[in-house]
Structure 1
Amino acid sequence: MKKFVVTAVLALCLMGVGLMGTGLSGPETAYGANSDTYKQLNLFGDVFERIRSQYVKEVKDEELIEAAINGMLASLDPHSSYLNPKNFEDMQVQTRGEYGGLGLEVTQENGVVRVVSPIDDTPAARAGIQAGDYITRLDGEQVIGLTLTEAVEKMRGEVGSDITLTIVRKGEKKPLEVTVTRDIIKIKSVRYHIEDEVGYIRITSFTEKTGEGLKEALEAIHQELGDRLQGVVLDLRNNPGGLLDQAIAVTDAFLDRGEIVSTRTRNDRSIQRYNAHKGDMLKGKSLVVLINGGSASASEIVAGALQDHQRAVVVGTQSFGKGSVQTIIPLGANGAMRLTTAYYFTPSGNSIQGEGIHPDVEVEQLRLDEAEEINTSRRSERSLRGSLENPNNGHEELLEAETRTEEDKQKEEDKIKLTSAKDDYQLNYAINLIRGMSIAKFNQ
């Protein structure tokens, strides 16, 4: 009887997930399950009961069920996962504004944690952790065997406490031991400064206030330079993404009309299009967008739309290639599931999934004071285990907030010089390109 109840509950849960995740009507989903499906559920029930009764030590039923759900979602693609109540609450806290942690955007690859990018002005960035680093141990404990959620949970903790990361870095013969002190992570996603007569705006993530922050930055740049403004460099390098509506707002700020992005569910059953409103805040001035292999998801929406509309010149290196939409589906008191529900497409109808945005002008990053060997290999969405195929090759509603927000600070705090053209080859190239475009427009 106990086995029957477990199996029946699981069957109902699975059908419920299908209803929420696909938007199909109840009867079509329920009757779509054939006898083989129920045989497999019976198999699950057998295994579940064997573990409960014969495993060498007692395991809580909740832990077994959570592990099974985690395995089911993780087998789909790298971005679908289960959020237990605590992790779901943590995610909501992050979206609201702050948490105790290191300030890393990470993914899981080959069983270890790979750094997508350190977040500006956080303990991780100050400790010198770099994009592409592999974290293999946390306080001496191996990462292999942990889920990404478990590894992230261990990196978070009480503000002021230390954690030692064992890092494998390309070019280093031995693993590095880096001790990082946790701090309150507060991220202002938009910062700017002025390079002579060129505005520089860096967006580190797409959070709840990104669109508002961009507007304030553009207004301040216009106010300071007036008619002397030659153009703007929009830096999306190492920006891992975030909220879809904010990516749309950022793109809309530079366009007068046209489609920004579309999302399409399975078999194109539902296509949602998002269009620009009249009003280019840059008033037709030159725009260059900087991207690299750490630019993903919402960053690629912005770069792809501005490129397709020929509103901006995209400079840098090929972006990450995350072209899928994750929907957060609450599961009541049981947390939530993060499920990949759609692909997004640029205005020209291209999917970025696994392909990324190819820059108009490819410029590798070099230090200006020395020539360094260029590493042509790149980590991308396609290199992740279980990544989805590009839908164009075969024939985000909501993008998860991957980063944190914070309340606005005084305007003077916006003028933090994140980088300078004198020590950033790609930025130097972009600024010179803006100047050249400005001269060309003036001579027309």
Structure 2
Amino acid sequence: MIRNASLLLAGTIIGATAALTFTQVPNLIPGVAHAAVSDTYRQLNLFGDVFERVRADYVEQPDDAALIEAAVNGMLTSLDPHSSYMNPKDFKDMQVQTRGEFGGLGIEVTMEDGVVKVVSPIDDTPAAKAGIQAGDLIVSIDGEPVQNLNLNQAVEKMRGAVNTPITLQIQRKGIEKPFDVKVVRDVIRIQSVKSRVEGDVGYIRISSFNEQTFDGLKTAIAKLQDQIGKDKIKGYILDLRNNPGGLLDQAVAVGDTFLDHGEIVATKGRHADQNTRYDARDGDLTDGKPVIVLINGGSASASEIVAGALQDQKRATILGSRSFGKGSVQTIIPLGSNGAIRLTTARYYTPAGRSIQAKGIDPDIQVLQDLPPELKDQVTDTKGEASLKGHLTNEAGGAEGGGSQAYVPPDEKDDKQLHQALDLLNGVIVNSAFPPDPKTVVPN
């Protein structure tokens, strides 16, 4: 989970100040402190010595920039699995993902037999308006065969400045020869929220937490209330399965959508002034209607914040399998033209004070999916945060766990978790965990 943009600025200022202070410390701190700093500088000299020796004597001429990048990344990844260095390109790609919009065509693609295959065009985007269809094969981009590119390179070529043209050569089943399609790029917004009507129940799927998520959720709720009737809705299903997380502020906003009071999450860092508590504001956009949250072994970070908040506040029943167990917060610290670092700066805690780090959130109602025969002998479970080398331990101690079944059937008719949630909301079945008892909320 990543802190929001306002905290990114704080991280930048802190980082710059720390660097400035570090260069001045040897002249300001006497005695033991001075000795400790001198030892640190000796270690930095060690790095310089090794770097120069590699440059001078390695069997082939090394790339200096690549050596330094690998050294910096090695330092960060030795801290925990979620701290890392991002070179300028990786930093730019991360910003695109979290911003949730970019200049492009509006197609979901994959790689198949050396060519780019269109999974689906996104509605009302340049690709859809140009007539590109699901199943189309993109064999060249602006005259360059895609067989010379990997998927990331092909996607990068299709993205670009708004209002700039691109020509795709398309191979379509049933048409003998490939044909060209000219498309003009436009602003594409990543749809992290999708919804649909399930009888008198509103189903909402959140696939990630980017800058567009809260606005997408508000729109989805309003649309469902209009389609079903605000007073007729029996409840909502919030599907967070296989959602890897994203921005902290968006997780807080999503939790706040279903709450009108109480704590959503608290973060605690190394220093007391880094500790923050996030509380819900007045106004539940769903008017207190019953909510069931679906989670599984692929639900991590921001997903677990939302699930943990609604579970502890007894606002929703959590159904599915145990979540991933990532209970840490990362701050993105820009480094000017040198990219940025992703640094773990805090742990987060649910309203009841639980840290789910390396443990995960246990559902109120556990429901496992039936695996099709072809998957019976395959691993469909995630091992969770606890399986990651160098992961942070849980401060509360005890047995670690986290992770579980992460399989979701591609055909909705086979989705046991979804069907059980619908049956509970429609009163077809009953369970003591639904609806939760608000009298048992732990004071916070």
TM-score when scaled to structure 1?
0.68
Distance 1:322 1:102, change over 3 A: farther
Aligned to 1:402: none
Q: Deviations over 1:111-162 (max 9, x none)?
A: xxxxxxxx9989xxx99xxxxxxxxxxx999xxxxxxxxx996685434799
The residue correspondences of 1:306-321 to structure 2 (distance < 5 A) are: 306-321=310-325
Aligned to 2:415: 424
- Alignment of 1:296 with 2:291, yes or no, is no
Distance 1:68 1:268, change over 3 A: same
* 1:348 Cα deviation after fit: 0.8
Distance 1:60 1:311, change over 3 A: same
2:421 partner letter: A
Distance 1:120 1:203, change over 3 A: farther
1:382 partner letter: A
Distance in 2, Cα, partners of 1:370 & 1:48: 51
Aligned to 2:157: 158
8 A Cα contact 2:98 2:246, kept in partner = no
Give the paired residue count: 346
- Please provide the CA RMSD for this pair: 4.0
Aligned to 2:255: 251
* 1:196 Cα deviation after fit: 0.9
Distance in 2, Cα, partners of 1:331 & 1:431: 48
Aligned to 1:20: 15
* 1:326 Cα deviation after fit: 0.8
8 A Cα contact 1:19 1:29, kept in partner = no
8 A Cα contact 1:190 1:202, kept in partner = yes
* 1:94 Cα deviation after fit: 3.2
Distance 1:360 1:157, change over 3 A: same
Q: Deviations over 1:171-214 (max 9, x none)?
A: xxxxxxxxxxxx99862011111111111000111111111111
Q: Where in structure 2 are there 5+ consecutive unaligned residues?
A: 1-10, 111-118, 123-133, 136-146, 159-167, 171-184, 399-408, 436-444
Aligned to 2:347: 343
Aligned to 2:395: 391
8 A Cα contact 1:120 1:204, kept in partner = no
Aligned to 2:383: 379
1:384 partner letter: L
Aligned to 1:41: 44
- Alignment of 1:197 with 2:200, yes or no, is yes
1:209 to 209, 212, 217: 212
Aligned to 2:90: 87
8 A Cα contact 1:366 1:426, kept in partner = no
Aligned to 2:266: 262
* 1:377 Cα deviation after fit: 4.8
- Alignment of 1:354 with 2:353, yes or no, is no
Aligned to 1:434: 425
Distance 1:353 1:65, change over 3 A: same
* 1:438 Cα deviation after fit: 11
The residue correspondences of 1:71-110 to structure 2 (distance < 5 A) are: 71-96=74-99, 97-98=101-102
* 1:372 Cα deviation after fit: 6.3
Q: Deviations over 1:351-409 (max 9, x none)?
A: 11111111001111126999968968532111112211122329xxxxxxxxxxxxxxx
8 A Cα contact 1:292 1:319, kept in partner = yes
Distance 1:433 1:39, change over 3 A: same
8 A Cα contact 1:248 1:302, kept in partner = yes
Distance 1:29 1:269, change over 3 A: farther
Distance in 2, Cα, partners of 1:389 & 1:284: 36
8 A Cα contact 1:368 1:422, kept in partner = no
TM-score when scaled to structure 2?
0.68
Distance in 2, Cα, partners of 1:248 & 1:263: 12
Distance 1:187 1:81, change over 3 A: same
The answer to which of 425-434 and 55-64 deviates more is 55-64
Helix, strand or coil: the match of 1:387? coil
8 A Cα contact 1:102 1:156, kept in partner = no
Distance 1:366 1:40, change over 3 A: same
Helix, strand or coil: the match of 1:158? helix
8 A Cα contact 1:102 1:155, kept in partner = no
Distance in 1, Cα, partners of 2:21 & 2:151: 36
- Alignment of 1:285 with 2:293, yes or no, is no
Distance in 1, Cα, partners of 2:201 & 2:393: 39
1:334 to 325, 333, 338: 338
Distance 1:140 1:257, change over 3 A: same
Distance in 1, Cα, partners of 2:39 & 2:102: 47
1:292 partner letter: N
* 1:217 Cα deviation after fit: 1.1
Distance in 1, Cα, partners of 2:19 & 2:312: 33
Q: Deviations over 1:296-334 (max 9, x none)?
A: 111000000000000000000011111111111011121
* 1:426 Cα deviation after fit: 0.6
Q: What percentage of aligned pairs have identical amino acids?
A: 52
Aligned to 1:177: none
Aligned to 2:328: 324
8 A Cα contact 2:12 2:334, kept in partner = no
Distance 1:250 1:438, change over 3 A: farther
Helix, strand or coil: the match of 2:288? coil
The higher radius of gyration belongs to 2
Q: Where in structure 1 are there 5+ consecutive unaligned residues?
A: 1-15, 105-118, 128-138, 142-150, 163-182, 395-417
Distance 1:373 1:290, change over 3 A: farther
Q: Deviations over 1:263-313 (max 9, x none)?
A: 111155521011101111111111000000111111000000000000000
1:86 partner letter: K
Distance in 2, Cα, partners of 1:371 & 1:71: 36
* 1:64 Cα deviation after fit: 1.8
8 A Cα contact 2:98 2:247, kept in partner = no
Aligned to 1:61: 64
- Alignment of 1:224 with 2:245, yes or no, is no
Distance in 1, Cα, partners of 2:120 & 2:386: 26
- Alignment of 1:366 with 2:370, yes or no, is yes
